[in-house]
C-alpha cells in the first residue's frame, strides 16, 4: 500500500500520460475518470469497460484511496460533520452544509495547521502533514457517495492553510473542476487564506475563476498580530498590496472574513478603520460571529454589535453580510474543527 500511487492524484491530462506510459491508449484515462468521478465506483474491478489485464495492472500499482467514515455527526440544521480515516493512521474532518442554493462541502487541506491563529480550534494541535491532492478530492467523493447526491460548492475552509499546501490544492482544483469528472465550476470553489502574501500573488497569476477569501479579522498590525501570528511575517500593508494585485489581475471581488470578538475588534472605531482600509476595493466583507473555543479568550460579540458593525459598513460603501452559523451544535461551525481523537497510531 505504502508505495502505491493514488489514482485520485491525477488530473485528466496527467492520467492520459500515465496510461500512455503503461502502454495503453489515452482514451482509457477518460473512461477511468468517468468511473471515478461520475459513477463513483470504489473498486477497479467495477470498471467493466477496461480489459481484465488493465484492471489487474491498475490494482497492482494504484490505490483508490477510499476513505472510511470513522464518525458522522448530524446537526439539527442538517449540517453533517465527517471524521475520515485517511488510511495512514491519521484522520481529518470534512463538513457538509445544506443551503437553499445547494450543498457545500468545507474541505480540510492539511492534517493540523501551522498558522496558530489564537481564536481557531486547530491551534495547539500538532501539525502532521499536508494532504495530497487525491486526499482533498476524496473528501468530496466520500461525502457524495455517502449522501447519494451532488455537491454544488466547495470551500477550502476546513483544517489547514490551503496556501501552505499550494500545489496540491491547485491540483485538486483541476480534478474537481474537470467537466468530465466532478464538474464543479471554479466559480463554485472558494479558497480562504490567513494571508500568505507570496501565494496570493501566485494565485492571482493563475487567473482562475475561484473566489479568494482573506481572513483579515483586524485593521491594525498590533491587533492582527495578537490574533494571527502570520501578521508578523506579512503585515496588513503587504497583505493589502497583494489583494490589490489580485483584483487588478483577475477583476474578481475578494471576500474579507472578519470574525467579531467581543471588546476586541467589534466597536465602531474598528468598523471605521475597516472602511478606510477597504474603501474603493472590489470586495465584500463576511462578518463571522466568533465561535468561542475551549480555553479561548475571545467570545462572541452581541447581536446588537454585530448588526451595528454590519450596518456601519453598508452605510459607508462596503458591502457586508453576516455569515449564518451552521452546525454549531456539533462543533462544525467556523473554526471549530479540531483533530479530536484523530491519531489512531
Ligand atoms: N487557514 C485558512 C482557512 C481555514 S479557517 C484561513 O485562515 O483562512 C476558515 C475561516 O474560519 C477563516 O476565516 C478563519 O479565520 C475562521 N475562523 C477560525 N476560527 C474561528 C472561530 N473560532 N470563529 C469564527 N471564525 C473562525
Give the pLDDT of residue 295.
84
Distance CA 238, CA 244 (A): 10
Q: How far does residue 95's CA lie from ligand 1's centre (Å)?
A: 14
Cell of 97: 452544509
| All cell numbers assigned to 180 | 468530465
119 touches ligand 1 (CB under 6 Å): yes
Domain boundary among 19, 42, 63: 63
- Cβ contact 140:182 at 8 Å: yes
Closest residue by Cα to residue 159 from 257, 91, 228, 89: 91
Q: What is the pLDDT of residue 340?
A: 56
CA angle centred on 173, ends 31 and 25, rounded to 5°: 25
Annotated active-site residue 93? The verdict is: yes
DSSP character string of 207-241: T--PEEEEE---SSHHHHHHH-THHHHS-HHHHHH
167 with 44, same domain?
Answer: no
Phi/psi of residue 147, each to 5°? Answer: -95, -10
Alpha-carbon dihedral angle through residues 134, 136, 142, 143, given to the nearest 10 degrees = -160
Indicate which residue's Cα is closest to atom 8 of ligand 1: 193
Q: Are residues 52 and 195 located together in one domain of the fold?
A: no
Note the pLDDT of residue 58. Answer: 97
> How many folded domains does the chain comprise?
2
Cα of 257 to ligand 1 centre, how many Å?
8
Q: Are residues 125 and 24 in the same domain?
A: no
* pLDDT (0 to 100) of residue 330: 73
Mean pLDDT of 12-35: 97
* 67 or 343, which is more confident: 67
Answer yes or no: are the C-beta atoms of 130 and 165 closer than 8 Å.
Answer: yes
Q: Specify whether 336 is located in the same domain as 202.
A: yes
* Residue 102 clears pLDDT 70, i.e. is over it: yes
What digits encode the pLDDT tens for the residues 181-240?
A: 999 999 999 999 999 999 999 999 998 999 999 999 999 999 999 999 999 999 999 999
Q: How many CA atoms lie within 13 A of 105 on its CB side?
A: 24
Shared domain for 30 and 121, answered yes or no, is: no
Query: What CA–CA distance (Å, rounded) separates 341 from 231?
Result: 30
Domain boundary among 41, 63, 85: 63
Segment 313-325 shows an average pLDDT of 94
- Ligand 1: residue of 92, 117, 325 to mutate (most ligand atoms within 8 A of CB) is 117
Does the CA dihedral 161-162-167-171 come out positive or negative?
positive
Please choose, from the candidates 8, 4, 191, 189, the residue with its C-alpha nearest in 3D space to the C-alpha of residue 104.
Answer: 189
Dist. CA 36 → ligand 1 center (Å): 31
pLDDT at 335: 67
Kindly tell me the sign of the dihedral angle through the C-alpha atoms of 142, 145, 147, 153.
Answer: positive
Residue ending a domain, among 16, 45, 63, is 63
8, 137 Cβ separation under 8 angstroms: yes
**Any idea what DSSP says for residue 149?**
S
Q: Which is the catalytic residue, given 9, 93, 144, 161?
A: 93
Query: Same structural domain for residues 274 and 247?
Result: yes
Please check the confidence at residue 1 and state whether its pLDDT lies above 70.
no
Give the model's confidence band at 179: pLDDT under 50 very low, under 70 low, under 90 confident, else very high: very high
Task: Between 291 and 135, name the one with better pLDDT.
Answer: 135
291 lines ligand 1 (CB under 6 A): yes
* pLDDT band per the 50, 70, 90 thresholds, residue 99: confident
Q: Clarify whether residues 247 and 293 are in a common domain.
A: yes
At 345, is the pLDDT very low, low, confident or very high (cuts 50, 70, 90)?
very low
Q: What is the mean pLDDT of the chain?
A: 94
> From the CB of 194, is ligand 1 less than 6 Å away?
yes
**Residue 2: pLDDT above 80?**
no
Report residue 278 as a C-alpha cell: 477597504
pLDDT of residue 19 exceeding 80, the answer is yes
Q: Which helix (H) or strand (E) holds 285?
A: strand 283-289
Q: Which positions ≥6 away from 153 have C-beta within 8 Å?
A: 102, 103, 104, 105, 184, 188, 189, 190
Residues 130 and 220 in one domain: yes
Which has the closest alpha carbon to 214: 253, 270, 188? 253
pLDDT of residue 126: 85
Q: Residue 16: enclosing H or E segment and its boundaries?
A: helix 12-21
Tens digits of per-residue pLDDT, 225-282?
A: 999 999 999 999 999 999 999 999 999 999 999 999 999 999 999 999 999 999 999 9
d(CA 279, CA 267): 18
* CATH code of residue 88: 3.20.20.70
- The verdict on 126 and 242 lying in the same domain is yes
Mean pLDDT of 76-88: 93
Mean pLDDT of 42-49: 97
What 3-state class would DSSP assign to 130? strand
- Domain CATH number, residue 56: 1.10.150.530
Burial tier of 152 (Cβ tally within 10 Å: 0-12, 13-18, 19+):
middle
Do 37 and 73 lie in one domain? The reply is no
- pLDDT computed for residue 344 by the predictor: 46
Give 36's pLDDT tier (boundaries 50, 70, 90).
Answer: very high
pLDDT of residue 337: 76
Check the CA dihedral 128-80-101-137 and report its sign: positive
pLDDT digits (tens, 9 = 90+) for 150-175: 999 999 999 999 999 999 999 999 99
Q: Is 106 a catalytic residue?
A: no
Both 180 and 263 in a single domain? yes
* pLDDT-above-70 percentage for the chain: 97
If pLDDT is split at 50, 70 and 90, which confidence band does 100 have? Answer: confident
The active-site residue out of 117, 210, 283, 334 is 334
Place of cell 464543479: 184
The domain in which residue 55 lies consists of 5-63
> Are 48 and 148 members of one domain?
no
CA nearest ligand 1 atom 1, residue: 161
Amino acid at each position: 500500500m505504502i508505495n502505491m500511487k493514488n489514482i485520485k492524484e491525477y488530473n485528466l491530462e496527467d492520467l492520459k500520460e500515465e496510461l500512455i506510459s503503461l502502454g495503453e491508449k489515452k482514451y482509457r484515462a477518460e473512461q477511468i475518470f468517468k468511473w471515478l468521478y461520475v459513477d463513483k465506483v470504489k473498486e477497479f474491478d467495477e470498471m467493466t469497460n477496461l480489459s481484465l489485464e488493465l484492471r489487474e495492472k491498475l490494482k497492482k500499482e494504484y490505490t483508490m484511496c477510499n476513505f472510511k467514515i470513522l464518525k458522522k455527526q448530524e446537526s439539527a440544521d442538517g449540517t453533517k460533520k465527517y471524521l475520515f480515516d485517511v488510511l495512514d493512521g491519521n484522520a481529518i474532518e470534512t463538513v457538509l452544509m445544506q443551503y437553499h442554493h445547494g450543498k457545500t462541502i468545507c474541505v480540510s487541506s492539511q492534517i493540523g495547521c501551522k498558522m496558530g491563529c489564537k481564536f481557531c480550534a486547530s491551534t495547539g494541535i500538532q501539525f502532521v502533514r499536508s494532504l495530497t491532492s487525491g486526499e482533498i478530492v476524496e473528501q468530496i467523493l466520500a461525502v457524495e457517495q455517502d449522501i447519494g447526491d451532488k455537491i454544488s460548492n466547495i470551500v477550502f475552509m476546513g483544517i489547514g492553510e490551503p496556501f501552505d499546501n499550494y500545489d496540491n490544492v491547485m491540483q485538486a482544483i483541476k480534478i474537481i473542476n474537470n467537466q468530465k469528472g466532478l464538474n464543479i465550476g471554479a466559480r463554485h470553489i472558494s479558497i480562504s487564506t490567513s494571508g500568505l502574501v507570496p501565494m496570493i500573488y501566485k494565485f492571482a497569476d493563475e487567473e482562475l475563476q475561484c473566489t479568494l477569501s482573506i481572513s483579515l479579522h483586524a485593521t491594525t498590525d498590533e491587533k492582527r498580530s495578537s490574533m494571527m501570528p502570520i501578521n508578523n511575517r506579512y503585515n496588513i500593508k503587504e497583505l493589502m498590496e497583494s489583494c490589490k494585485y489580485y483584483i487588478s489581475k483577475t477583476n474578481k471581488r475578494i471576500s474579507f472574513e472578519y470574525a467579531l470578538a467581543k471588546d476586541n475588534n467589534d466597536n465602531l472605531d474598528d468598523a471605521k478603520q475597516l472602511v478606510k482600509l477597504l474603501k474603493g476595493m472590489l470586495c465584500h466583507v463576511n462578518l463571522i460571529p466568533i465561535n468561542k473555543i475551549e480555553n479561548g479568550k475571545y467570545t462572541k460579540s452581541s447581536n446588537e454589535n454585530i448588526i451595528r458593525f454590519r450596518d456601519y459598513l453598508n452605510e459607508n460603501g462596503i458591502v457586508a453580510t453576516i455569515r449564518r452559523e451552521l452546525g454549531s451544535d456539533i462543533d462544525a461551525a467556523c473554526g471549530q474543527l479540531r483533530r479530536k481523537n484523530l491519531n489512531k497510531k
